[in-house]
Structure 1
Amino acid sequence: MSTEKRAPLDRKRVADTALKLLNEVGLDGLTLRAIAKELDVKAPALYWHFKDKQALLDEMATEMCRRMVAGAALDPADTWQERLLKANRGLRAALLGYRDGAKVYSGSRFTGTDHARELEENLRLLTAAGFTLTQAVRAGATAYSYTIGFVTEEQGVRPLPDERREGYGVEERARLLADFPLAAAAGAEIFEDYDRHFEEGLELVVAGIEARYGST
């Protein structure tokens, strides 16, 4: 019998294991049974820590956030525009590190306060620039929603940066839509060069916020 001492089973160990397994099986394949097998425990043991899969997803999203903000320094010289751009670039990069990362993150309830420092500083920067608190919240939430939606669609085509789902070949799509030339030509704009598309779209969002609220 092995005498090797295993790490205690706690919420963080379960979440870490779930995030590792997520990249292998995706969100649909991520079951409590599969996680328990990976941990070499019985599935009921996980229910001491998480009442259901959503509770686990909440902890996974929280751990993703912890990793994203750990050691991150906010530049006090940032304009609000620069801060929104940097924050959402960082969010996208973090989400792309996990298969179905955007789906896990979206709608989850954080179980800790690791996100609060950056949120507080961003709101402070926006309100100092002349936004009301309501406007600052709307600005941040709109840019965040754009990023989450963009990455959700991006990962629907490219589950991980080095993968591409079958059926999303631009040339094949153009052939099938030959009777709709504009729609056919749009394929290259929709399903290629996600980095450029994200940047352009995020800049449009920030420009729209500035035009709407007129704060600089």
Structure 2
Amino acid sequence: MARDTLTRDRIVQTAVELLDAEGLEGLNMRALGKRLDSAATAMYWHVKSKDNLVLLATDRVWGELALPDPAAVGWRAAAAAMAADLFGMFTRHPWLVPAFAAHVVYGEGKARHDDHHLAVYEAAGFTGAQADQAAAAVFTYVLGNAAGAAASASHARRLSRDGAKAEAQLNDAMTKAQEIAMNYPHLRARLDTAAAADYAAAPAETFEFGLQALLDGLERNVTNCGSGLDGSR
């Protein structure tokens, strides 16, 4: 593909596809150029650097998120929908989790989402820093849960790339983890059940359970907005 037929939009979309397939560690200009049938050096005419490309790709996927209207559905339903949508985005694009650790993530798409997220909690009755705290609490809860999906995606890539060697290493690590867990009564009780094979897997409903518990707490505290989230005066 000639340099003048490349566009930033095409490069960014292809970068997202590469990141989805290979993870953050698999993104490089040579691999991207191969997918675009173009020289790696041609990418730099449209994106400044690999780091800038990660930011552009991140902002592209942030545009996937819906912005439910709290006036139409209520603040809590809007907050729950945004959290579930955000979690879905992180699980579709698990490279976003390590991207947060390695980059200062910003852009129009993220700003659009963050602005609306604050508006949802302001609609609930939180003001100023309290709205910031409520939005941040939910966002970090979602991000923390998405870390498991990111780890699973990384393990899957290793198994696909390294085959039997990676599988043997993973099985060895799981065996050692279970041996250690057997020294602790609450963990041992779970390993002794029929579900021991699923020891490392969290129940499917864990995310929703935790989200609703978090929103319950915010809903109780919103009446204390005038005196602080902890109810102190």
Q: Secondary structure in 2 aligned to 1:96? A: helix
Asked whether 1:80 is paired with 2:75, we answer yes
Query: Which position in structure 1 is the counterpart of 2:14?
Result: 17
- Preserved CA contact (<8 Å) 1:139 1:209: yes
Equivalent position of 1:109 in the other structure: 105
| Corresponding position of 2:143 | 148
Q: Alignment partner for residue 216 of structure 2, among 187, 204, 207?
A: 207
Structure 1: runs of 5+ lacking an equivalent: none
With over 3 angstroms needed to count, the CA separation of the structure-2 counterparts of 1:104 and 1:7, relative to structure 1, is farther
1:127 aligns with 2:116: no
- Match status 1:182 vs 2:186: yes
**Higher mean C-alpha displacement, 165-174 vs 120-129:** 165-174
Give, in angstroms, the shift of residue 194 of structure 1.
5.1
Please tell me whether the aligned partners of residues 70 and 77 of structure 2 are also in contact (alpha carbons under 8 angstroms): no
Given the alignment, which residue of 30, 34, 38 partners 1:33?
30
Say if 1:118 and 1:155 are closer, same or farther in 2 by CA, change over 3 A.
Answer: closer
Q: After TM superposition, which residue ranges in structure 1, 4 or more long, deviate above 6 angstroms?
A: 4-7, 162-165, 168-171, 186-190
Contact 1:10–1:49 at 8 Å: present in 2 too? yes
Report the secondary structure of 2:71's partner residue.
coil
State the one-letter code of the partner of 1:25.
E
Higher relative contact order (CA 8 A, sep 6+): 1
Residues 30, 40 of structure 2: 8 Å contact kept: yes
Structure with more of its chain in helix, by fraction: 2
Cα deviation 1:25-83 (Å, max 9, x = unaligned): 221121122112211222222222222222111111111012334xx653633332222
Alignment match, 1:191: 200
Aligned to 1:159: 153
Structure 2 distance, partners of 1:39, 1:48, is 14
TM value normalised by structure 1: 0.77
Deviation of 1:168 (Å)? 7.0
**Count, aligned residues:** 208
What is the RMSD computed on CA atoms of the aligned residues? Answer: 3.5
SS at 2:126's partner residue?
coil
8 A contact 2:15–2:27 mirrored in 1: yes
Q: SS where residue 48 of structure 1 aligns?
A: coil
CA contact (8 A) 1:99 1:155 kept: yes
Indicate the residue corresponding to 2:42 in structure 1.
Answer: 45
- Give, in whole Å, the separation in 2 of the partners of 1:78 and 1:200: 21
